[in-house]
Amino acid sequence: MSNQKQAVLEENIKQLGLREYINSVVGAIRGQPEKNKPMVGAIQRALVGSRFLRDQTNTPHNNWWFVGDGDSDIKTALNSACFPVWVEQYAIRPTKFSTDSEVPNGLKVDSLQALLKILERINSMQHRIS
């Protein structure tokens, strides 16, 4: 999900050879702010055709994580009742969350590697419980 135009985003993904690894590409739609980050419509667009698509309004989805590197990503997570995860590694410019120690109701990590370690720990804990 990006605030880049859809066509630009699709081309970047194609050039990087990543298309086979991505289920949904959501770029900005000019003139329709309700369908772009940080609005809930961006999440709904990403999930079209997915068994996970539900009405997000006032419905907490604490087990859904929204990972990003900027303020609009955190706002998208909070607006969509998802768990916000801010990754400093790819932040293009300093944001509110690069200087604050906390992300509201979420998690701040230094890198994707740090996030992966957290996810591996969660996964191993779930296996021990079940």
For CA atoms 84, 41, 17, 23, the dihedral sign is positive
CA distances from 108 to 70, 76, 105, 112, 126 (A): 11, 15, 10, 11, 22
Give me the chain's average pLDDT, please: 80
Residue 106, C-beta contacts closer than 8 angstroms, at least 6 positions apart: 74, 77, 83, 84, 85, 86
Read off the pLDDT band of 34 (50, 70, 90).
very high
Give per-residue pLDDT as tens, 45-104.
Answer: 888 766 665 554 455 555 788 888 888 888 898 888 888 888 888 776 666 766 666 677
